[in-house]
Amino acid sequence: MEWPIILALVLVIPIMLIPVAYIWYLNFGGLIAILERRKRSAAAKWLFNFDRKGTIVWERQDEGIRQYYIDSVGKLIDQIKKS
């Protein structure tokens, strides 16, 4: 190969890989957020059942109650991370 072709490849390949790396970053960030949300939701369900002692079913609660418990778990997790 001649040197201009090699130089062009050396310059073009990293430029082409930057958008690919950015899209991978977004996808992995989204997956991590989904997994954290599932963990917090499972912990919130456990807290709800512990708090209500099984008298009310988690699945029948409206979104406000569920979000309250998910936020409570999120605050607890944040406090644990800070200490």
Number of domains in the chain: 1
- What are the tens digits of pLDDT across the range 48-81? 888 877 667 777 778 888 888 888 888 888 888 8
User: What pLDDT was estimated at residue 13?
Assistant: 93
* pLDDT on residue 19: 92
Using a 10 angstrom Cβ sphere, with 0-12 exposed, 13-18 middle and 19 or more buried, the burial of residue 48 is buried
pLDDT recorded at residue 54: 65
C-alpha–C-alpha distance, residues 75 and 72, integer Å: 5
* Lookup: tokens for 34: 């989904």
Per-residue model confidence as pLDDT tens digits over 19-50: 999 999 999 999 998 988 888 888 888 888 88
- Domain with 52, as residue range(s), is 3-82
- Rounded Cα distance, 77 and 71, in Å: 10
pTM: 0.58
> Six-digit token pair at 58?
């988690």
Average pLDDT over residues 12-25: 92
